[in-house]
Amino acid sequence: MSKLRQVFGVVAVSIAAWFWTTTAQALDTVNVRFSWKLKGEYGFLYLGKARGLYQKKGIDVVLGEGAGAQAALGGLVRGNEDVVIAPAIFAISAIEKGMPVKLAAIYQERAPFVLISWPDKAVTTPAQMEGKSLAISVGDPATTYLDVFCTINKISCEKINKVQLDPQVRFPQFMQRRVDLISVYTNVDLPLIEDRTGTKFPVLDLPKYGLGLPGLAVVVSDKGIAEKSDSLRRFLSATEEAIELTKSDPAAATAALKSAWSAAPSDELIKAQIVATSATLNFEKGRPAGWIGDKTISDALKLMSATESIDPNKPVTDFYTNDLLKK
């Protein structure tokens, strides 16, 4: 009888091994590249992976850090990636220039960026910017459209001292009070800066005063849409579940992200970024998460037209697809 049990045990182990091997082989790999390094903004993706939400949809999701939106989008076109997670405005600009990619979901209708200042030189309205110095960096959406912002709010850009700085030195320059204002994202940068300095900084809410740019988004290639639409659709469906799960359990998302972050900051900071990001992910009732409307794209193009040449005859539907979100 004992030998019979041993035989059954070996058979059971063999069947289990075969099952898990077969299941793993059946998963469709989706390579996801971020536009930047790890941060709490990406926490929902790691929670979705840790909880098996992608696996349940038949997806083996591979998540990777990036080194800028341009590099990530280039990898997408070359077929190195299946999905890029980046601010939508960079994708819109790339598509306008002819890059064969599309927005498949926009999770932040308006990017949550602000200008911060020191409490003793607080700037909370556009008019208070006059007479202050502002860090300007290439590729920074918050300051790229400064002239438009000034026009909307009827202030003089000429009265703002614009200081051109490399993105890597903006924060040190601000900390040394060599500039009065820098732009930050409220869901990532602001919790980090306030944690490091122990200071509650006054903010000038840019979207509130007319500078509304679409933020966190999913970008896919035209080739990917043609060849991998089913797996991309399942990826987006699982991501919607991951976003909702993260809203209800930010501590779990913190743990999931930290396990993949070799030089992670404190749990408190990661959680603060995750909670702040979740607060910006609000979707239209009755629509899948990330649903894109024509107005979101047309408003962005109108804003971009102030600083670059835009083809007025290019249909807004060339910039996005909702087909991958349909259930």
DSSP for 257-300?
A: HHHT-TT---HHHHHHHHHHHHHH----TTS-TT---HHHHHHH
Q: Which of residues 171, 190, 209 is at a domain's end?
A: 209
Q: What is the CATH number of the domain that holds 47?
A: 3.40.190.10
Residues 265 and 117 in one domain: no
Q: What is the pLDDT of residue 312?
A: 80
Q: Say if CB 317 and CB 222 are below 8 A apart.
A: no
Q: Say if CB 105 and CB 232 are below 8 A apart.
A: no
Q: What single DSSP character describes residue 33?
A: E
User: Which helix (H) or strand (E) element contains residue 13?
Assistant: helix 2-26
Q: Which of residues 191, 209, 227 is at a domain's end?
A: 209
Q: Say if CB 103 and CB 320 are below 8 A apart.
A: yes
Residues 105 and 124 in one domain: no
For residue 255, give its domain range.
2-110+214-325
In tens digits, the chain (327 residues) has pLDDT values of 444 445 444 444 444 444 444 444 589 999 999 999 999 999 999 999 999 999 999 999 999 999 888 899 999 999 999 999 999 999 999 999 999 999 999 999 999 999 999 999 999 999 999 999 999 988 788 888 899 899 999 999 999 999 999 888 999 999 999 999 999 999 999 999 998 899 999 999 999 999 989 999 999 999 999 999 999 999 999 999 999 999 999 999 999 999 999 989 999 999 999 999 999 998 988 999 999 999 999 999 988 888 778 888 899 999 999 999 975
Q: Report the alpha-carbon distance of residue 300 to residue 310 in Å, rounded.
A: 11
Residues 105 and 147 in one domain: no
**Which is nearest to 183 in space by CA: 162, 199, 197, 198?**
162
pTM listed for this prediction: 0.87
| Total number of domains constituting the chain | 2
Residues 32 and 6 in one domain: yes
Can you read off the two tokens belonging to residue 71? Answer: 């590099």
Q: What is the pLDDT of residue 14?
A: 46
Residues 100 and 23 in one domain: yes
Q: What is the pLDDT of residue 2?
A: 45
Angstrom distances, CA of residue 285 to CA of 43, 83, 136, 288: 23, 25, 38, 8
Q: Say if CB 30 and CB 82 are below 8 A apart.
A: yes
Residues 103 and 223 in one domain: yes
User: Rounded to the nearest 10 degrees, how much is the dihedral formed by the CA atoms of 166, 170, 172, 178?
Assistant: 110
Name the residue with tokens 């919790």.
191
Residues 82 and 102 in one domain: yes
Q: What is the pairing mode between strands 113-116 and 59-64?
A: unpaired
Q: Say if CB 214 and CB 300 are below 8 A apart.
A: yes
Q: Which of residues 181, 209, 237 is at a domain's end?
A: 209
Residues 200 and 222 in one domain: no
| C-alpha torsion sign, points 179, 40, 275, 288 | positive
Question: Which amino acid appears at position 239 of this protein?
Answer: T
Residues 238 and 157 in one domain: no
Can you read off the two tokens belonging to residue 134? Answer: 């502002």
Query: Bridge partners of 31?
Result: 62
Residues 64 and 128 in one domain: no
Residues 37 and 78 in one domain: yes
Q: What is the pLDDT of residue 319?
A: 97
**Which is nearest to 297 in space by CA: 282, 315, 324, 277?**
315
Q: Would you mind telling me the total number of residues written for the chain in this entry?
A: 327
Residues 6 and 105 in one domain: yes
Q: What is the pLDDT of residue 309?
A: 82
Q: Count the alpha carbons within 13 Å of 84 in the hemisphere toward its beta carbon.
A: 32
